Amino acid sequence: MSLLRRATDRLLPALLAAGGVVLLASGLITVAQPAAGGDDVLLPTPSAMVGTPTPTPAATGSAGPSEPPSPTPSASVEVAVTSRVVIPALKIDLPIVAQSYGPGQGSYPLCDVAQYLEIFKQPSQRGTTYIYAHAREGMFLPLLLQSQRDNGQAMIGDLVQVYTSDGHVYLYEIYRVKRHATDFSLAEDVPEGEQGLILQTSEGPRGTIPKLQIAAKLLNVAQASLAEANPTPYPRDCR
């Protein structure tokens, strides 16, 4: 069982029991525990996915004088993060910031931006990239409205452009619209070695647990200018 599956299995009971979780515009499916002093909730963070480090075996014996010194480990390469999402058919164009960005540090979705869930992958990595935003004007409201017409079938085949901070644009094609979702199963349903995208938004007023999820498959990757890929975000705390 994957770490992601175990983490989401632990979080789902809290989700089903929680009330007053999000506004019409709320962004996240998974709910942990209520934040102190209000209706906001703490959302999953990358630390929830970190397992116990495997201890390094102790060296046996001392190195001989002819043995070369161990090489210094090189710093890991920083992965470019999602920075902009565009859905031309629905006139959606939003900067993207991390779930933990800004006021509240992820306890409630921000307005005027989309956000990515940090427990999932970035577009350059195998697996699922998970992007969410409020169902409000100028944000992901068109996704909700389209989903209410024939279960969103008109969105099948629509293209989604996801830009990354290093100047690339990943082109995806929508292939499934899932209404009333209550877990991450759609996000986990990506064939091994492939890259996918989930877009999420809310389906109702505060306290509505089910969310709208839209799945898209990767078609290709192209270069983009850094200016085009990195619009300045102006997130707003709209709790």
Pick the CATH number of 3-43+79-229 from 1.10.490.20, 1.10.645.10, 2.60.40.420, 2.40.260.10: 2.40.260.10
Confidence band, pLDDT 50/70/90 cuts, at residue 206: low
Site of tokens 């990506």 = 190
Read off the pLDDT of residues 212-239 as tens digits, 9 standing for 90 and up. 999 999 999 999 999 999 999 999 998 8
Cα separation, 8 vs 170, in Å, equals: 27
Residues in contact with 217: Cβ distance below 8 Å, sequence separation at least 6, in sequence order: 172, 173, 175, 194, 196, 197
pLDDT at 53: 38
Stronger pLDDT, 221 or 207, i.e. the higher one: 221
Read off the pLDDT of residues 101-122 as tens digits, 9 standing for 90 and up. 987 677 789 999 999 999 999 9
Q: Strand, helix or coil at 156?
A: coil
Cα separation, 124 vs 117, in Å, equals: 15
Asked if the model's pLDDT at residue 52 lies above 60, the reply is no
pLDDT at 182: 94
Cα separation, 44 vs 72, in Å, equals: 34
Asked if the model's pLDDT at residue 205 lies above 70, the reply is yes
Q: Do residues 224 and 182 make contact, with C-beta atoms less than 8 angstroms apart?
A: no
pTM: 0.72
Residue 142, CA atoms < 13 Å, CB-side half-sphere: 14
Q: Which of 92-96, 181-185, 206-210 has the lowest mean pLDDT?
A: 206-210
What average pLDDT does the segment 166-171 reach? 99
- Tokens representing residue 14 in the block: 């809290």
User: Domain residue spans in the chain?
Assistant: 3-43+79-229
Mean pLDDT, all residues of the chain = 77
β-pair partners for 122? none
Phi, psi angles (nearest 5°) of residue 208: -75, 115
